[in-house]
Amino acid sequence: MSVQFGSQTVLRDLSLGVRRGETLAIIGESGCGKTVLLKTLIGLVRPTSGRVVFDGQTLNELDDRHLTAARLRFGFVFQQAALFDSQTVAENVMFPLLEHRRGTPDEARAKALEHLRQVGLPESAMQKKPAELSGGMRKRVGLARALMMDPDVLLYDEPTTGLDPIMSDVVNELILKTSDLRKSENPVTSIVVTHDMHSARKVADRIVMLYPVPRLKGDESQIVYEGLAEKIEKSSDPRVTQFVRGEAGDRLEELQIA
Ligand SMILES: Nc1ncnc2c1ncn2[C@@H]1O[C@H](COP(=O)(O)OP(=O)(O)OP(=O)(O)O)[C@@H](O)[C@H]1O
Tell me the whole-structure pTM to 2 decimals: 0.90
55 and 62 Cβ atoms separated by less than 8 Å: no
Q: Where are the domains of the chain?
A: 1-68+153-258, 74-150
ipTM for the assembly: 0.96
Q: Whose CA is nearest to atom 5 of ligand 1?
A: 5
Mutation to probe ligand 1, out of 35, 79, 191 (largest number of atoms < 8 A from CB): 35
Q: What is the pLDDT of residue 182?
A: 64
**Cβ(7) – ligand 1 distance below 6 Å:** no
* Regions of the chain short of the pLDDT cut 50: none
Would you state the CATH architecture of domain 1-68+153-258?
A: 3-Layer(aba) Sandwich (3.40)
The secondary element (H helix, E strand) that includes residue 97 is helix 89-99
- First and final C-alpha spacing in the chain: 35
Reduced to 3 DSSP states, what percent helix, strand and coil does the chain have, rounded to the nearest 5?
Answer: 40, 20, 40
218 lines ligand 1 (CB under 6 A): no
Q: Is 30 in the pocket of ligand 1 (CB under 6 A)?
A: yes
